[in-house]
Structures are given as C-alpha cells and as structure tokens.
Amino acid sequence: MTKISGTMVATLLGLSLVATPAQACWTNAEQDAARIANMNQMLMVSALRCRFGNDNFLSDYNRFVRNNNDVLASQHNIIKARYARTMGEKAAFAELDKFMIALSNYYGGGHGDPDCAKLERLSGELSRGRQDVKMLAMVADEVVGVPRQAAQACSVTIASRR
C-alpha cells in the first residue's frame, strides 16, 4: 500500500509540475489584453490625478473610453477568461479584480513618466475615434509594456522543414 501511495504521489507531483508552466504563461492575445488594460488603467488614474493641473485630459480620456468601450471590454474579458481557465470560474473575478487594483495602485502613486503633458497628447490622439486591438496593443507596448503579472509569455513552437 505504501509503494502504491508513493507512486501515486510522485505521479501527481509530476503532473502538477508539468501543468504549472502552461498555467503561468500568457498567450500573445492575453499579453496584448494585459498591455491594453495596463495602458487604460494608467490613463484613467492619471486623468484623475492630472485633472487639476495645466494638462487636464479627463475629457479626452472619457471620449477615448466611449469610442472604444467595446474593444476595452473585449480585452478585459480575455484576461478574465485566462483566469477562469487557469484558476477556475469562481476565482476568475477575484483574480481579475486583484490584477486591475494592482495596476491602479501603481499609477495612483504618480509614476512620473509619461508625465501629464505626454498623457494629455496621447489621450487626445486615442480619443479621435475608434481604435482596434492591434493598434492599442502597439501603443500600449510603447507607453507601458506588459505588466509584471503577465510577463511570462508562453513559448512558441515554429515548425521547420527537414
């Protein structure tokens, strides 16, 4: 009986080690969603922080959200689906909440760069119309990058000819 239990424990441990990297990694689409969420949180928190200064861009940020609410929501749902897949449906909402709060807290302290003037220009550009995921992910990558929580990308296998 002890030998069987030991074998089962070793097998389960092995399976958990194999499953962990796949759960920890973020696909390209999930990382793009995380980039966009990161940029959106930065703009939202900074718009509130900068609204009493010379570089008030709150109205531009609000216009950006109105024009792109469906794109922002779709990216939010990708992150939530990732958490549901890796942690279960019940934990997904709480994990997503933690993710968004961590981003907000980071920017709430005032991150310095980009400053209010640069963010006002960025918000003005983004508020001019509807944006697609590819463009928002590209801009977000330039401005804020992938947040620490989503930094582990899944490996990519490329087929080759022999």
pLDDT digits (tens, 9 = 90+) for 37-90: 999 999 999 999 999 989 999 999 999 999 999 999 999 999 999 999 999 998
In a domain, 124, yes or no: yes
Task: Find out whether 108 and 47 touch, Cβ atoms under 8 Å.
Answer: no
Flag whether 96 is in a domain.
yes
Q: What would the DSSP string read from start to end of 89-104? A: HHHHHHHHHHHHHHHH
Q: What is the pLDDT of residues 21-30, one digit of tens each?
A: 455 799 999 9
Task: Say what the pTM is.
Answer: 0.78
Q: Does the pLDDT of residue 4 top 60, yes or no?
A: no
Work out how many domains the chain is built from and give that number: 1
Cβ-based neighbours of 41, under 8 Å, separated by 6 or more? 100, 103, 104, 107
Domain-embedded: residue 140? yes
Residues spanned by the domain of 120: 25-150
pLDDT digits (tens, 9 = 90+) for 84-120: 999 999 899 999 999 899 888 888 876 656 789 999 9
